[in-house]
Amino acid sequence: MKNENSYSRIIAGAMTWGNWGKKMSTTEMAELINHCKDHGLSSFDHADIYGGYGTEEEFGKALTHSGAKRESIQLISKCGIQYICEARENKVKHYDYSKEYIIWSAEESLRKLQTDYLDLFLLHRPSPLMQPEEIAEAISQLAQSGKIKEFGVSNFTDSQIALIETAVPVRANQVEFSITSSDVMFDGTLDDCMIHKRKAMAWSPLGGYFRGENEQNSRIEAVIKELQPKYQLNASQLLLAWILKHPADVHPVVGTTNPNRLADSLKAAEIEMDLEDWFLLHTASMGEKVP
């Protein structure tokens, strides 16, 4: 599984396209898929659990309806979380990384998405009961059969990745990363991505900035207003540009379903934020100067 940087700089997250959000129709999803493609967002991020295990299937129908060529887009999905919902008879939320379940889940994602392969297949969250050799057997079988191109993880620490890599290479890690949630810059997670040349992706890249008023957001807002005339970007774009400045080459997963906001997000990749401006925002977030 070769790690090719073929993903769009901004990735469109599909978590809220279905029942967990906008509940878009097939036609609406197809239009949004084509809108994303037309504006350079060719990568789409999924997980089996989204929409109570239903969004992948809805997206798959829309993808067929859109007429988009499979080779023109990249599909990412995740497995492992056994969620309590109508679609599953689970007594408790848990994780399943048995060989049989990983393979079954990947094949279910392929069926629902109406595709022959996933560009990237992730273990959604770490489990205390993970067996690296068993995971490796599943991933090897999926890769050899051409059903996945790359294998990675999501929300894993560097030590958890090291555990998995005793048996199989890990090409990517998708983690929470934003100006209001930046622990991965300091706990070794992004360092690990750089050291081992893993693809780094950030979910919830705008963090809590738009989720209410507090002292941290007020400090960040003041700096954003100071920087906007210089960069001619809105707040969301500046926050994405802040992430894109990190040398781990992080790919933000943008969760909006608003066509204009999706297109606007790519403008953040067109600028290089100045060093001191990056630290102005970082300092505002932390509430104190760097050590």
3-state helix, strand, coil in the chain (%, to 5): 45, 15, 40
Query: Nearest-CA neighbor of 135 among 107, 84, 99?
Result: 99
Tell me what the mean pLDDT of segment 34-54 comes to: 97
Separation of CA 264 from chain center = 18
Residue with the two structure tokens 């809805």: 58
**Residue 27 reports pLDDT greater than 60:** yes
The angle subtended at Cα 16 by Cα 73 and Cα 239, nearest 5°, is 80
Whether the predicted pLDDT of 60 surpasses 60? yes
User: What pLDDT score was predicted for residue 2?
Assistant: 37
Task: Give the pLDDT score at 6.
Answer: 86
Per-residue confidence band for 176, with pLDDT thresholds at 50, 70 and 90: very high
How remote is the C-alpha of 87 from its chain's centroid? 24
Name the residues annotated as catalytic: 50
pLDDT average, residue stretch 217-221: 98
First to last CA, the chain: 41
- Domains of the chain and CATH, by start: 11-212+249-257 (3.20.20.100)
